[in-house]
Chains A and B, each alone.
Chain A
Amino acid sequence: MLNIIRSDLFKIYKGKAFYGVMLGLLGCIILIAGIFKIIQTPAFRTSMSVHEEMFNEDDILSVEEAQQYMPSNGGEFLVLMNQELGSSFLFFLLPFVIAVLGADYSSGAYRNLLSYHSGRGGIYAAKMLTSIILTVLMLVCTSVINIIIGGIVFGFGGFTGIVLLGTVKNIILMLPILISLIGTAHCVLAFTKKTSTTIAFYLVGLTVWSLILQIPALLIPGMEWLLQLDFSSSIKMVGQYAMNADVKIMVPMIFSFLLIAGTYVFGMIKYKTTDFDFS
């Protein structure tokens, strides 16, 4: 099992996809930091004030109010990214992890793997562990990029022990949610044996699931708790909890662990008994 993980990490290291995705992420973070920086410039504030006077709408934030949410140093930028943009992982980075998991199917290399390693349970577990390692690696890289870009654009102030510890807590607490999604995709892959179908299923499923939960949570009084089962909402909650906000995260955590266990068992059974023939 260890050899399978080592070989997959070698493949990621040698391939270009991981570096491409991380470069894309770097570009996104630079863009976001750049937009924040532009919003804070006096010229932008003046132009927006004129705009505000012209339209005078009450239901949108005033420029002064919006400024309160803008980071004034690198530490604040890091906190903002942890709390508000963690869910970008769901739509940006996890599909890449699924693509890595499914590469065996798309290239046909599963034949070489299965004809040599007969213990399919071990293979399934190894692939799952590889994707978890990859996710941790990407979470850590994202935080490092946030620190560097935040520091360069807004200055290296504000990186207090609380902020850095909060970032580590955020990574640890986000993991069960992300692993539950990877586990679900891994399970779906065992059924479909097709990477593209699984990624489409994942993205559509994520959106539909979110809608199913958010609509009643917003419209029906007393149903707000449903948001705790919504992945993007729960990632936001975890980000706030990591920064010591008064948020309860027990439900999302339990739900994630149940999902991990359920999809792992179900996927493993399917993987162990399925015929790999594609005919």
Chain B
Amino acid sequence: MRILKEIILQCKGITKQYSNTRALEQVDMQIRQGEIYGFIGENGAGKTTLLRVIAGLISPTEGKLSLFGKDDEQGLANGRKRMGCIVEGPAFYPSLTAYDNLEYYRIQRGYPDKDCINKALKLVNLENTGKKKFKQFSLGMKQRLGVALAIMGNPDFLILDEPINGLDPGGIVEFRGILKSLSKEHGMTILVSSHILSELEQVADRYGIIHQGRLVKEFTQKELELNTRRYLSVKVEDAAAAAAVLEQEMGITQYEVLPGNELRVYSHLDNPAEVTFQLTSNQIRVMFIREMGGTLESYFLSAVAQKEK
């Protein structure tokens, strides 16, 4: 039996209207405890606006927001104290060091344990920055300091807005590891927005696609795998005969027969020539064979295109 975990974040019909722009339109979203939710959208789609609403920087024009099951003012205030977030990039005082910036927030938030600063800096590999000031940091270091601040109070819910921006390839790999560890070892629920979809694909459990202020699609990692699984699309004259050859001559069992004499072969992706050879050797005419399937990018684009239709 699947146990339903606590709902950490719930947005119901969130709408944000600026003077002549509707930035968000009836957004419904739900994130459960322990999930890593990948929030995907093009620039200007409304990702940051929704994150601002969740962080309390702006108020929605319509709709209801609840955090940790509470939607009243006090409940939201308490919920935000259990949240760590970077919205619109990391923001720190330029003339202070990494340690002093975090010390500033430690005092401000009333965390009693001074050691939480060193722990957070160590987790993002910034423990040796010494007297280097924030203004002298590279973009990647700034991003990592933002993450350090977000996780410093050991929050239950982490919101990261485009955290991969500015990170070098090594930094991206490292960051992915940090996210996975925060989720698995610390049990944090994470909402991470990005337009670098290939990076989200490797960490998220569930996704939401926002387009022109609307949440157009939500799906799980399993659904994504199913929809983006790579395969060989083989169009033949006689699909039944081809299936028999695949099974008997090549031992292939992972395949599907589709209407229109088309087969989807989920193995031998690296060797389509072998499949073609076996079929033609058995007098089965191959009309075409090619590798197909998708990535999160292609899935995202098709979801957006469908919505636009």
Say yes or no: B57 contacts A111, CB within 8 Å.
yes
A3-B107, A107-B94, A279-B18 known; 5 new pairs, CB 8 Å cut-off, are A3-B108, A7-B104, A10-B103, A111-B55, A276-B58
Find the A residue at minimum CB distance from B87: A111
Contacts of A107 on B, CB cut-off 8 Å?
91-94
Asked, given contacts A16-B95, A279-B18, whether A112 binds B107 with beta carbons under 8 Å apart, the answer is: no
A68 within 8 Å of B (CB atoms): no
In the bound assembly, the distance between CA atoms of A118 and B65 in angstroms comes to 14
Contacts of B149 in A (CB 8 A): 112
Does B109 lie at the interface of the complex (its beta carbon under 8 Å from any beta carbon of A)? yes
With A112-B91, A115-B85 already in contact, the answer to whether A11 and B57 are too (CB < 8 A) is no
Q: A15-B96, A115-B55, A277-B58 are in contact. Are A7 and B88 (CB under 8 A)?
A: no
Q: A13: nearest residue on chain B (CB-CB)?
A: B100
| CB of B76 closer than 8 Å to a CB of A | yes
Interface residues of A in 72-123 (CB under 8 A from B): 103, 107-119
- Bound together, the chains give a CA A276 to CA B87 distance in angstroms of 11
Contact A277:B52 (CB < 8 A) given known A15-B95, A112-B105, A115-B57: yes
B59 to chain A, nearest CB (A): 7
The residue on A at minimum CB distance from B55 is A115
Interface residue count for B (Cβ, 8 Å)? 34
B73, B88, B93, B110: which contacts A111 (Cβ < 8 A)?
A: B88
Question: Among the listed B23, B77, B108, B110, which residue makes an inter-chain contact with A118, where contact means beta carbons less than 8 Å apart?
Answer: B77
User: Which A residues are in CB contact (< 8 Å) with B105?
Assistant: 7, 112
Which residues of B approach A to under 8 Å, CB–CB? 18, 23, 49, 52, 55-59, 73, 76-77, 80-81, 83, 85, 87-89, 91-96, 100, 103-105, 107-110, 149
Interface size of A by Cβ–Cβ distance < 8 Å?
28
Bound: A110/B76 CA distance, A: 18
Contact between A114 and B92, CB atoms less than 8 A apart: no
Assess whether A275 is interfacial by the CB under 8 Å rule: yes
Q: How far is the CB of B134 from chain A (nearest CB, A)?
A: 9
Instruction: Verify A114–B57 contact, CB threshold 8 A.
Output: yes
Which residues of chain B have C-beta atoms less than 8 A from A51's C-beta?
A: none
Whether the pair B80, A115 counts as a contact (CB closer than 8 A) is yes
Instruction: Report how far A119 CA is from B80 CA in the complex, Å.
Output: 11
Quote the shortest CB–CB distance from B145 to chain A (angstroms). 11
Q: In whole angstroms, how far apart are the Cα atoms of A109 and B109 in the complex?
A: 14
**What would 27 A/B residue contacts be, using CB atoms closer than 8 Å?**
A3-B109, A3-B110, A4-B108, A6-B108, A7-B107, A7-B108, A10-B107, A11-B93, A11-B104, A14-B104, A15-B96, A103-B93, A107-B91, A108-B88, A108-B89, A108-B91, A112-B105, A113-B108, A115-B83, A115-B87, A116-B80, A116-B108, A117-B108, A119-B77, A276-B52, A277-B58, A279-B23
B residues within 8 A CB of A103? 93
